[in-house]
Amino acid sequence: MKTIALIPAAGQGKRMGGQGNKQYLMLGGRPILAYCLEVFEHHPEIDQVILVVPGAEIDFCRREVVDKFKFGKVAALVSGGAERQDSVRLGLEAVIGEPDDLVLVHDGARPFLCAGLVTRIIAETRVTGACLAAVPVKDTIKTVAGSRVVGTQPRQTLWQAQTPQGFHSDLLRRAHAAAVNAGIAGTDDAELVERLGHPVAVVEGDYHNLKITTPGDLLAAETLLAARKEGRL
């Protein structure tokens, strides 16, 4: 049984205000993408990494990220699709292995992944076949129609999904194939597996495992990185 990290990093970063592909923005002197790649590179249970990027950026990514930082576990750079779901499916096509191999899908724009969370996701996936990292929501969540509140959700049952999300390879392939056949666009891979009727376990994630989507997120990441370097976190 192999364990493969599949990293979709083909987003256009539209909410970054024209700064380009967010995965290549610099954070502490390194591209954002390099941080999670480093975790997978040094994790003893990860056998290989499949990296999905825009087709026009494959050479750049190989030169400026993979080769420059010596990420030897990157087995393939795959041209991504129009949406994240398409990119994951295309990345899966590059995975060569057995049906019970494990695939961990992780957002390339989540730089503060920790090795301990990867270990917990792998262990749970081996048992359940599907799991995700998530954290309990801190804020009160309102249901809104137009500009009116129409309900308040019970906070104790709400969790904020993160990545990594781990799956048996065959299960994830079947979930993506079913989504294509049904014309369904899910918000994450776990939703596609849920639609098959397969249970998805939850592993408690990390509030610092933020996804960089906006300039404000990048500022928060810089603050978090500085705090870690100074030993304040």
Q: What is the mean pLDDT of the chain?
A: 94
Residue pointed to by tokens 């990296």: 51
Confidence of residue 14 (pLDDT cuts 50, 70, 90): low
Q: SS3 sequence, 76-140?
A: EEEECCCCHHHHHHHHHHCCCCCCCCEEEECCCCCCCCCHHHHHHHHHHHHHHCEEEEEEECCCC
The pair of three-digit structure tokens given for residue 14, joined into one six-digit string: 């539209």
Confidence of residue 33 (pLDDT cuts 50, 70, 90): very high
Taking the whole predicted model, whether its pTM rises above 0.85 is answered as: yes
39-95 pLDDT, tens digit per residue, is: 999 999 999 999 999 999 999 999 999 999 999 999 999 999 999 999 999 999 999
The residue type of 136 is P
Q: Which residues contact 200 (CB under 8 A, 6 or more apart)?
A: 128, 130, 131, 132, 190, 193, 194
pLDDT at residue 11, rounded to an integer: 74
Say which CATH architecture domain 3-132+161-229 belongs to.
Alpha-Beta Complex (3.90)
pLDDT at residue 95, rounded to an integer: 93
pLDDT at residue 188, rounded to an integer: 97
Residue ranges of domains in the chain: 3-132+161-229
Confidence of residue 166 (pLDDT cuts 50, 70, 90): very high
Do you know the residue count of the chain? 233
